[in-house]
Structure 1
Amino acid sequence: MAENQQIAKELIEAVGGEENIETVSHCATRLRIMVHDKEKIDQEKAENIEKVKGAFYNSGQYQVIFGTGTVNQIHEQFSELGTSGSRESEETTEAPKQGNWFQRVIRTFGDVFVPIIPVLVATGLFMGLRGLIMQEEVLALMGLTEDTIPDNFLLFTEVLTDTAFAFLPALIAWSAFRVFGGSPVIGIVLGLMLVNPELPDAWEVAEGTADPLLFFGFIEVSGYQASVLPAFIAGYIGAKLEKWIRKRVPEALDLILTPFLTLFVMIFLALFLIGPIFNTVEEAVMSGVVSLLELPFGISGLIIGFFHQIIVITGVHHIFNFLEVQLLQQFGENPFNAIITASTAAQGAAALAVGLKTKHKNLKAISLPSSLSAFLGVTEPAIFGVNLRYIRPFVMGLIGGAAGATFASIVGLAGTGMAITVIPGTLLYLDGQILLYLATNLISIGVAFSLTWMFGFSDNLREKMDHQ
């Protein structure tokens, strides 16, 4: 704890002191610091702080890479030092002012989805474990068959695997209210209204076993169990509406009128306007994504596997969260995860080749831990600390990622969850896909490592690049 507090203090100094910090937030691997003046950042000092695996300025933020788990602890120390936490509401109004419109939209998607990813990861792991247990060979070891499994056991597993997705709109609306400055509890209730059991179930309507309700003779209404975008938009508008109402009602009536009016107006908008419109938009987006994923001969893997880590550099890869959630929601599987795993493993392999081939002690000390970090699912240290620095290893990693992802697409590999890849990601493929998953990783690692070793790196190249 004391060590992390010291790291936080040193980082505050490196970015120009507390007076230069506007807001501090974090995603799964990076601490995201918005600063008033980026010229006050001491880049060298920041990169030399213990546990920092890389740092760069992008999308209006100074992004410091710590890795999964560590970033949460460092952010906690920032909060305790009074640098973040109390400023969360300011972030929602100040953040949109930095970066271009596309960067701002993607960053907002990330801010909303990152807090709910842990429960979706847990759900994916539950799905993977259920898939493992339900295999005939495993059941036979316990003296069971599919027909002899107790119904209560199946019900228990469904509670573990279905709850997060059944109430996903509530999670999204809660997070959106939090990000946009509203009361999160109002967001939860609004989201729950969208999946109220009194509304026809979206899945049953899609299957034709239930009919939607008809309002005003032309508006069809059903639950939004399968939706993401309507809950996101409803959360955004609801938070803004709540703040607008709160400014205009007398303080004595705020506790009563503000939540009442917010929910009253928003459920009408959500069911009759936002839901139908953005559900249609969502279906169109997903149709395009599914069409891409269904391209023959592994073309989808080739394209996404090659470009994914380029997108990671820009920091706008959080758009994939929306797509992965939708895939899991609609199909119960996530082919994106297999493709992204291939691109992640390949960057780790490229960094590993550099670390084993170089005779430079400092580069070796950076490359080997960075490759391990990538094999645990975090590529930023390998990309920014090694591969992109010498360019060729990064390109070889892209090629390796494309190779492994092409194979994954050809064999139809798809995970039971999201957000974890490579070594931790094996838990998402215990439902009979584990050998194909291992083959995907081996192809990516083998191609990227071999190309980097033969063509992508030498100490002569290092000396030339370091002296440019």
Structure 2
Amino acid sequence: MGQYEKSAKELLEHVGGSDNISVVTHCATRMRFVLNDDKKADKDKIENMDIVKGTFTNAGQFQIIIGNEVAKFYNEFTEIAGVGDASKSEAKQAAKQNLTFLQRLISNLAEIFTPIIPALVVGGLILGFRNIIGDIPEFGPNNDQALIELSQFWQGTFDFLWLIGEAIFHFLPVGIVWSITRKMGTTQILGIVLGLTLVSPQLLNAYGVAEATEIPAWDFGFATVDMIGYQAQVIPAIMAGFVLAYLEIWLRKVIPNVVSMIFVPFFALLPAVLIAHVVLGPIGWVIGDWISDVVFTGLTSSFGWLFASLFGFAYAPLVITGLHHMTNAIDLQLMSLFDGTNLWPMIALSNIAQGSAVVGMIILNKRDKEEQQVSVPAAISCYLGVTEPAMFGINLKYGFPFLAGMIGSSIAAVISVGSGVMANSIGVGGLPGFLSIQAQHWLMFFVAMAVAIAVPIALTLTLAKTKMGHNAYERLGKK
């Protein structure tokens, strides 16, 4: 008898049996099911299993949080259930059959940015470190010099690190177009080439367009095309990437296999590059500027506190729906226009607030050893930027801690936006997030962090004594 045989058989029964499983796979902590009939899954019984930390449905997949032992459990489950092993891509394709158009759009956006997020996080940390050694005049005999003014070592380090920062952010379109071709199953090297044509040194750098007295152009005799680069631009890269991918997919259907290796790349790449620079680039630039201006103006206007409070309150529910992935594109667009983003600090604060609500539950349930096995790791992972165990395993299960986290996040967001806190880039969405904050804003971000920690803990302890808290405990059989 395997270690998890009993639990695997129990779970199989509760999800509706093998016949109800279309696809099953797993990630670092979760089992991901695409079920033929979601109604056959008994969520209450599944959540009462000892091995299960929580459940939720997202992107058409019924997901069950198991924890670090998920891989071993998954192996025993698939053997007992008699279902074949499936890749994550197969699971996503099957799940998309259950999605609406808007959900598919958001899912596609998430799949584009997920592979490049590690680079963006690294870039944010590097920019933050450069900010510390290059822009803080708090060193030297009179505490009025930056580190780069005091030491050639720090000056060299400052200059060297920009090699990585430039590669990540200035050449971001390359990563975006590559990610689109990867997602669409088309030729990835063509995506890289298209991305490079958007940031070629031949072109006028996007950061220099506003100050340029004359825009260079390609002259075709009957028409001219501006030679403008799209460094750090998100929307032009997304639009160009999809044009390339769909062109290649169509060409592979109409061009014979015998000559496809020659003609498909040529007739896909050449028109895509031309369309990108003549049509999509200028249009995407205008759209991106418009979105960024609206968000930035909203956050810095006299009503910025209202925008911040609503975003801080609503971000955690957005995570449940998957809509939070849309903020990545907005953050990157803000960075390209304003040398930073005032949106991302609120995201980090929301994660901290949800983790703090779990800390409140740890205090409330300090005598419940079984609950502590779930809540303590969940709080730690949430403070490090992974919110799912906290939100789905604890906060949503009880309800009132989730609300406490939302309120704490809202207040912290108002403080962050009201004091003008800016991040260099997307970073680690938890306590280490301060490393991505521009150094001159650290103090106020720490104040906002303190609020995001204290308020949810206090509110969780308070709400537990109300009718909402009592009802939650009774519903879960805790009292």
| The two structures share one fold, judged by TM-score above 0.5 | yes
TM-score normalised according to structure 2 size: 0.83
Structure 2 partner of 1:83: 85
Taking the TM superposition and a 5 Å limit, the aligned residue runs for 1:199-218 are: 199-213=203-217, 217=223
Does 2:21 match 1:20?
Answer: yes
Amino acid at match of 2:459: L
Does 2:476 match 1:466?
Answer: yes
Give the Å deviation of 1:32. 5.2
Does 2:159 match 1:155?
Answer: yes
Does 2:347 match 1:334?
Answer: no
Instruction: Name the SS for the 1:427 alignment partner.
Output: helix
Q: Which has the larger radius of gyration?
A: 2
Does 2:332 match 1:325?
Answer: yes
Q: 2:378 aligned to 349, 370, 386, which one?
A: 370
Structure 1 partner of 2:109: 109
Deviation string for 1:241-283 (max 9, x for gaps)?
Answer: 1121122222222222111111012111111122222222222
Whether the 8 Å contact between 2:292 and 2:333 is mirrored in structure 1 is yes
Q: Distance in 2 between matches of 1:122 and 1:73?
A: 31
Give the Å deviation of 1:310. 1.4
Give the Å deviation of 1:454. 1.7
Instruction: Name the SS for the 2:343 alignment partner.
Output: helix
Whether the 8 Å contact between 1:106 and 1:318 is mirrored in structure 2 is yes
Q: Distance in 1 between matches of 2:453 and 2:354?
A: 8
Taking the TM superposition and a 5 Å limit, the aligned residue runs for 1:305-454 are: 305-358=312-365, 359-429=367-437, 431-454=439-462
Structure 2 partner of 1:302: 309
Structure 1 partner of 2:80: none
Instruction: Name the SS for the 1:335 alignment partner.
Output: coil
Does 2:144 match 1:136?
Answer: no
Which stretch shows the higher mean deviation, 388-397 or 173-182? 388-397
Structure 1 partner of 2:249: 243
Q: CA RMSD in A?
A: 3.9
Q: Distance in 1 between matches of 2:271 and 2:26?
A: 31
5+ residue gaps, structure 2, are: 78-82
Does 2:71 match 1:61?
Answer: no
Q: 2:274 aligned to 258, 268, 271, which one?
A: 268
Amino acid at match of 2:194: L
Deviation string for 1:205-232 (max 9, x for gaps)?
Answer: 1233551526655754511113111211
Structure 1 partner of 2:118: 118
Structure 2 partner of 1:232: 238
Instruction: Name the SS for the 2:63 alignment partner.
Output: strand
Q: Distance in 1 between matches of 2:23 and 2:471?
A: 40
5+ residue gaps, structure 1, are: none
Whether the 8 Å contact between 1:354 and 1:364 is mirrored in structure 2 is no
Change beyond 3 A, Cα 1:202–1:364: same
Whether the 8 Å contact between 1:136 and 1:146 is mirrored in structure 2 is no
Q: Distance in 2 between matches of 1:187 and 1:100?
A: 28
Q: Distance in 1 between matches of 2:117 and 2:71?
A: 14
Amino acid at match of 1:444: A
TM-score normalised according to structure 1 size: 0.84
Q: 1:193 aligned to 190, 193, 197, which one?
A: 197
Whether the 8 Å contact between 1:203 and 1:226 is mirrored in structure 2 is no
Which stretch shows the higher mean deviation, 362-371 or 122-131? 362-371
Whether the 8 Å contact between 2:355 and 2:382 is mirrored in structure 1 is yes
Does 2:173 match 1:169?
Answer: yes
Equivalences, count: 460
Deviation string for 1:122-153 (max 9, x for gaps)?
Answer: 11111111122223345779995538647654
Whether the 8 Å contact between 2:125 and 2:427 is mirrored in structure 1 is no
Which stretch shows the higher mean deviation, 344-353 or 135-144? 135-144
Give the Å deviation of 1:10. 11
Q: Distance in 2 between matches of 1:132 and 1:54?
A: 41
Deviation string for 1:41-73 (max 9, x for gaps)?
Answer: 5755588586x6433223312234578x99999
Which stretch shows the higher mean deviation, 264-273 or 167-176? 264-273
Change beyond 3 A, Cα 1:252–1:303: same
Does 2:292 match 1:282?
Answer: no
Change beyond 3 A, Cα 1:416–1:47: farther
Change beyond 3 A, Cα 1:112–1:145: closer
Instruction: Name the SS for the 1:56 alignment partner.
Output: strand
Give the Å deviation of 1:159. 0.4
Percent identity over paired residues: 33
Q: Distance in 2 between matches of 1:301 and 1:321?
A: 17
Deviation string for 1:280-333 (max 9, x for gaps)?
Answer: 222221121112221336333212111111111212210111111222233232
Q: Distance in 1 between matches of 2:174 and 2:465?
A: 49
